[in-house]
Structures are given as C-alpha cells and as structure tokens.
Amino acid sequence: MATIRLGDEAPNFTAESTEGTINFHEWLGDSWGVLFSHPADYTPVCTTELGAVARYKEQFDKRNTKVIALSVDGLESHKGWVKDINETQNTTVNFPIIADEDRKVSELYDMIHPNADDKLTVRSVFVIGKDKKVKLIITYPASTGRNFDELLRVIDSLQLTAYHKVATPANWNSGEDVVISPAITNEQIPSLFPKGHTEIKPYLRMTPQPDLK
C-alpha cells in the first residue's frame, strides 16, 4: 500500500461519482483540490460533514478550490444518502462523492487504517495544489467530525505561502500579520515587503499580509 507524503504528486485515478465518471487530475484542472473520505454512507457524523461542505462551497470556490468526497459505498447508496443530507442539513450537496466499492482510491491514498477499521476509511483529508502536489494531510478518527473552518484557514495559509516568502504563525487567520521567511535577509525586506516589518528577534520578523491592499 502506498504511503503519500507532503510534496508527493497526488496519485491520479478514474472513478465513478455522483456527478459522473471523474479523472481526478483532469477534474482538478487549474484548481486546488480537497479530497476527503468518510467511513460510510448513512452515518450521523458524515451526514453533518457533507452538509457543512455543501454550505461552505462558495468559500471553497473563492479560493479556487474544488472539493470531492469518497466512501467505499456504491453509487446508488450515495444517491439515496444525498437526499437525506439535503433534507436533514437544509442544504443541497453540490460536489461529487466518489463510489469506491473496490477500494481502489482508498488504497491508493492509504485511507483504510486496519487498526481503526479494516473495511472502512478513516476521515482522511488531502489538500492538493494547482501543481497536483499534496500540500496537507490530516487524518481524523471516525468518531470525530472535521472542522471545515480550520480547513479553510489552512488553505488560506497554503495559498499565501505558496506565492509569497512568508509563513503563518500560530492561530493565524487571513488578514493578520505573517512571519517573514528566515531565508530573506534584512536588506531584501524593503523591496519584498514595502508595508514595513517589525523585528521581534533576528529570526522572528513580522509583516502585514503581503497580498492584501
């Protein structure tokens, strides 16, 4: 079974979904992506999660990020469950759910952890950049629902730090000051960060978020 690490190319696959046959890399196109698995259809925590993602779809769209879910249940099961999600979560599921009955994708992405459950996927999350490289991996147990506010926060950080020579400090949210990369010399700062900076320690230099006007 493959082990995927940060910086690896996200494995491509073709699979059936609630929105038709998907070739993953082609479907991503020039977007960022979030691939996340849920243990099974018609389960309570997963129902709330997929409802939450549907409500957050506009927020993902703003970040040029596509979302796609997966479980090892079949397509007809997914379609029936989507009706329950829409009814109970007062939303409309507006993203594809992959049917992975043969576990091809689950095994490709190491989503089945035998010590937790040898048949069902854990709550895996993969954030994938426009370059098709894996930028983030988070694994939750089946008993714990995911925090999608945190996922959006992380995507904000990943996208900011991909294009600017900065890092984001603890508990950072978009709009707050960021850390200047240690590789940047003090002489380079004025041209790269014209908003100015504050040196707390030689290795800890803060500057306003550079992509905001």
> Active-site residue numbers?
46
Q: For residues 51 and 89, is the Cβ–Cβ distance under 8 A?
A: yes
Would you give the DSSP letter of residue 12? P
Q: In whole angstroms, what is the distance from residue 69 CA to residue 21 CA?
A: 14
Residues with Cβ within 8 Å of residue 39, at least 6 apart in sequence:
46, 71, 117, 120, 121, 122, 123, 142
- Taking each helix axis from N to C end, the angle separating 148-163 and 44-55, rounded to the nearest 10 degrees, works out to 50
Picking from 179, 171, 172, the residue whose alpha carbon sits closest to that of residue 210 is 179
